[in-house]
Each structure stands twice: as C-alpha cells, then as structure tokens.
Amino acid sequence: MTYILGFKQPGSAAIISDTRITWGNNASYLAKGDNIALKTGFFFHGCNFGRVGSAEHSRDFITTFKGGLRGVKDTIMGFWQRFEEFVKLYDFPKSPDSHFTLLLSARAFGEPRFFTLDSNLGYLKDEYKAEDNYILSFGSGKELLDSYLVDEIIPKLKQLENDLATNETISKQFDGITWAKLIVTLPPYYVCLYLSEKALTFEKSYLEKYQVGGVFHFIEQTVNYEAPQRPAIYIFSSANIKTNDIYSWVYRVVPVQGCLHIEEYPSVGQGSIDSTFFLSDSASRLDILTISDDELMDAINKELKLLPFYNFCGLGFTPPQYRYIRGGWFTTKGKEEDIFTSDNKLTQAIQQRINMNFDAVKDNYPE
C-alpha cells in the first residue's frame, strides 16, 4: 500500500507518492516490506499516473495499454479517447488481492484535472473541482496522514504563499525567480519534504507498520507538458542538547531516465554516501525489462551529469516538537559544493542555516 496525493494548483497538477511496498500478511501491522517501489510515472501523451493497491495488476493494466500505443501518432484528445475505450473493454481482475486504484492527471480538456480509476468499478471518475487549490489522497496512509496534511502542512503552505506574496526580498534568495512562479513551484517540494520528514525520521517505524514509507517525490503536469520533479535534497537534523552537537541525515532525490535515483548520506562523515540506488518499474518505463543494465546505467549517469546537483533544498527536523520552522530554497544552478565540502561534510553555509533553525526553537529544547 502507500500514500498518494493529487495536489492541484492553478495551472498545474502534481501526483505525490512515497516508495513503500509491502507483501505477506494482509493485516497492515504484520505486513513486511521495503522502500523500493516506484508508483508514479508518465502514462501516455497528456497523462500522468499514480497507483495504489496491487502493484502486479496495476502494472499489467498500464503496460498493456502502453504496449498497444507503440508507433501510434495521435492528438492529446485522441490518446485520451483511446484510453477511455480501453477502460471499457478491459477485463479487470475481481479478487480482493488484485484491487488497485489509479490516480490520473490529464490535460486533454485544457488545464490539468484529476481522474480516478477503481479496478472494482471499472470506469473512470472525473475528480474535477471548481477550486483552484485542492488535494486528493489515496492509500493506506490516509487515516494516519490526512489530518497531518490538513492541520499542519496546508497552513504552512498558506504561510509560505503569504510570505512570497508580501515580501519581495524573498525572491532574491531563489535566483531572482518571481514570487508568482515560486508560489506554484515550491509547494509540491515542501509537501514532499514534510512527508519525508515523518517517513524517514522519528515516525519511520510507526508509518512503515501501516505500509507507508521511504522518500516522497512527485511528477507534475501543466497545460503544456508532463515532467518529473527537479533534483531535490532533504536534510533532516537533530541535536544533542548537552554537547551542542548537531547531526544531519541527507537524502538526494533525482528522477532520471524514467527511474528514481536516490542517495542516502549518513550522519557520521556527512557527505560519504551511505547508499545509492534507483527505483524502476515497467509501468513507469516500459522497456525496463529488456534494456541491459549497462545501457540503462550509462544513460542514467550521463543524465545525472547534465542535471544540477539540486534545484530544491529543504531543511527539516528529526524531533517532531521542532517542526514548526520552515527552511528551504529553490535554485536553477545548485552545485554539489553548495551542500558538501571536499572532505565530505556539510558546508559552513548549510550548517549555519541548520544552526539558525535550532536557535529559533531553542526555548523549546527539553532539559
């Protein structure tokens, strides 16, 4: 299971997902799993997807339709109509363990809008709402995380929007990107930061018992294009109050070649990579089972070299009681040396930002 969000803003729609996959006992607290699943991707021209439920049967559905489009040329509306007809004719599985739901963002009708497809029902449901901003949620994480989303994340996003709209100097901290552009660009990154903060730190074990976990990431759509998020870095910190030592855990997330490249950096020797891996799935990249490992890794490494080391960098806390401070920025030219020194530690500039965050909440430090 999982936690998938449809995040709608004026002119754009993002699908946000964790990376948890589970197997075994159907009782959520007994299920075993790992944070190795890619559940979002480009579906067809004009449409992105996110999926919850049966990984096998949702994959079969997606790859069957994708496979039938090889060599086909059509308009965005033409592809959507082909998909509608495919849904009508598809023989959906009926067993309880084969159930899945797809969240789709589509621009066949102009501005992106969400649709859902429940395999038990076998038809598309238009999730259109008149509001400019709204969020849809799906998966086993709904019960645990929807209240956190409504009570804590959304107010922070509103405060961010207010800060950007009322403080012209803030845009200067983001390579001069206009506040109007930042208001639409930043929120999905912050949602991923805040959800990853819970899924990767203090609440990690608890959330994984309920089949939610790993780093959160997103794919977005506007009236003109579909695209994965830009490279992002999430830094989560904790402090030893007695010794004044601060420890940080760093995650780098980069969608590349239809896969998701993830780097994890440990708190000791910050900058020495603890693990590097990429997530892939034939639903997200149809040829993943036929392309050679060497060819795929060569393509991934070439693209990584062309991309900025990061575009978004977000700062968070491991202790939940300190999480009311927001920290993050967006750049068009983020470099590795902005984050790490040559001896594999956080740079002084990053460390100072982290220290400032802890100074801002030091009155609430436990004795």
pTM of the predicted structure, to 2 decimals:
0.93
Residue 149 counted as domain residue:
no
Alpha-carbon gap, residue 222 to 228, rounded angstroms: 11
Helix, strand, or coil (residue 246): strand
In the block, which residue shows the tokens 């980069």?
Answer: 254
Tens of pLDDT, residue by residue over 277-299, are 899 999 999 999 999 999 999 99
Which residue range(s) make up the domain with 60?
4-136
Residue 346 DSSP one-character state: B
Does 143 map to a domain?
A: no
Instruction: Write the DSSP string, 164-200.
Output: HHH-GGGGGGGTT--HHHHHHHHHHHHHHHHHHHHHH
Same-domain check for residues 168 and 315 = yes
So what's the pLDDT on residue 356?
85
Domain boundary among 77, 101, 136: 136
Length of the chain: 367
Long-range contacts of 353-359 (CB under 8 A, 24+ apart): 353/315, 353/327, 354/235, 354/237, 354/246, 354/248, 354/315, 354/327, 355/246, 357/237, 357/315, 357/317, 357/322, 357/325, 357/327, 358/237, 358/239, 358/246, 358/322
* 175 shares its domain with 241: yes
Quote the pLDDT of residue 237.
Answer: 92
Decide: 16 and 218 in contact? Cβ < 8 Å. yes
- Kindly state the tokens that stand for 235: 């830094």
Q: How far apart, in whole angstroms, are the C-alpha atoms of residue 96 and residue 352?
A: 52
The first and second tokens of residue 314, run together, are: 């977000």
Q: Contact 261/254 with Cβ under 8 angstroms?
A: yes
Residue 299 lies in a domain: yes
CA distance 353 to 318: 16
In 3-state terms, what secondary structure has residue 238? strand
Q: Tell me which H or E stretch contains 147.
A: helix 142-148
Q: Are 332 and 342 in contact (CB under 8 A)?
A: no
Is the pLDDT reported for residue 150 higher than 90? yes
- Res. 362 pLDDT band, cuts 50 70 90: low
Residue 268 has pLDDT above 60, yes or no: no
Whether 359 and 210 share a structural domain: yes
| Tally of domains in the chain | 2
Chain-centroid distance of CA 267 in Å reads 23
| Whether 168 and 256 share a structural domain | yes
Q: Classify the C-alpha dihedral 346-350-354-355 as positive or negative.
A: positive
**CATH code for the domain in which residue 30 is found:** 3.60.20.10
The predicted structure's pLDDT at residue 241 = 66
Helices and strands in the chain: count of H runs, count of E runs: 9, 18
Report which listed range, 45-54, 179-188, 355-364, is most confident. 45-54
Last residue of a domain, one of 136, 165, 184: 136
Phi, psi of 108 (to 5 degrees): -65, -20
For residues 38 and 218, the answer to whether their CB atoms sit within 8 Å is no
Percent of the chain topping pLDDT 70: 91
Say how far apart CA 256 and CA 299 lie, in whole Å. 9
Establish if 25 belongs to a structural domain: yes
**Does 223 score more than 70 pLDDT?**
yes
- Per-residue confidence band for 304, with pLDDT thresholds at 50, 70 and 90: very high
* Tens-place pLDDT, residues 2-30: 899 999 999 999 999 999 998 765 545 55
Mean pLDDT of 76-90: 98
